Amino acid sequence: MTTKNILHKKAVVAAVVLGLMASSSAMAETKVPVVASFSILGDLVSQVGGDHVAVKDLVGINGDVHTYSPAPMDAVAVKDAQLVVINGLGLEGWLPRLIESSHFKGTEIVASKGINTLTLAEEECAHHSSAKEGCHHHHHHGVYDPHAWNSVTNVKIYVKNIEAGLIKVDPAHTSDYQHNAQAYLQKLDKLQLDIQKQFAKIPASQRIIVTSHDAFQYFSRDYDVTFLAPQGTSTSAEASAADVAKIINQVRDDHVRAVFIENITDNRMVEQISHETGAKIGGKLYSDALSGPSEPATSYIKMMEYNTATIANALK
């Protein structure tokens, strides 16, 4: 082979290698940009989207979605996104203005669409049956309780809505999104059974606990655990002295075994209730946000497993 041919061959090989590198680089850059309003939704999007999505959470780990104030970089992320995934049910009161100001042109989906919602009136009257004033407690989120992700049954619907949203913006990877969603739904089925088994061992009369804010009523409905909270469904609503006193009396009357702090709230009220009633602090629950990597709630499934085990252990 002549020197000219060898050089030509090397040039061809180099061109092929460069072409492959360029195409793999292009593939890496073609991930679908998705914005999720907060970390729990971001994890669900990642589970369904897999390698095809690049997810940005507006409210990050241990963040409080109720009181969040968007940063300028959030508007950039929303503007560049092909898909924005929100919880809905009045949770992200700050988001419509952000979407409008960013001139977002993509697709927006409401993950909670189609779930069996709880209204605040139903919850409040059920949990304050001894006091009429409880039926007009904190109405800062409007009619519905937005914390629907604390029900595995609801999250299965979230997953189907996210799957449909991803297929709409990226139909080329439909089969992958369908496969990922189905595999994740099977994990959620197992999670549901595990949660039910843990609470089946505890008498229903013992399943009463106190948390900082009212984030666990869907969990309560699904698993027959009664949650009391001095603060309403939004952490932006201050609990009154009367609210705290009412909880203290209920803890004493019902012999509540445990009170819990949360990863997103000011926990001084809970510590006061524990001190005045003798109910032990049963640990920290992850209500509205996932944890950092050094903590136990780095994914939705891990969060639910950890919360369940923490509550069940405190009630035994």
CATH assignment at residue 286: 3.40.50.1980
Q: What is the pLDDT of residue 47?
A: 98
| Interatomic CA distance for residues 43 and 46, integer angstroms | 5
Q: What is the pLDDT of residue 123?
A: 57
Tens of pLDDT, residue by residue over 129-165, are 333 333 433 434 458 999 999 999 999 999 999 999 9
Q: Please name the residue that has the structure tokens 């590198």.
A: 21
Q: 128 and 91, same structural domain?
A: yes
Residue 129 lies in a domain: yes
Mean pLDDT of the chain: 86
Considering only residues 300 and 272, tell me which one the structure prediction assigns the higher pLDDT: 300
Tens of pLDDT, residue by residue over 280-308, are 888 999 999 999 999 999 999 999 999 99
Question: In the chain, how many domains are there?
Answer: 2
Residue 18 lies in a domain: no
Q: Which amino acid is residue 30, in one-letter code?
A: T
Q: 167 and 51, same structural domain?
A: yes
Domain that holds residue 156: 27-183
> Sorting pLDDT into bands at 50, 70 and 90, what band is 19?
low
Q: 74 and 178, same structural domain?
A: yes
Residue 283 lies in a domain: yes
Sequence-separated (6 or more) residues with CB below 8 Å from residue 8: none
Q: 212 and 164, same structural domain?
A: no
Q: What is the pLDDT of residue 214?
A: 84
The number of residues in the chain equals 316
Considering only residues 92 and 126, tell me which one the structure prediction assigns the higher pLDDT: 92
Residue 307 lies in a domain: yes
- pTM for this model (two decimals): 0.83
Q: 267 and 175, same structural domain?
A: no
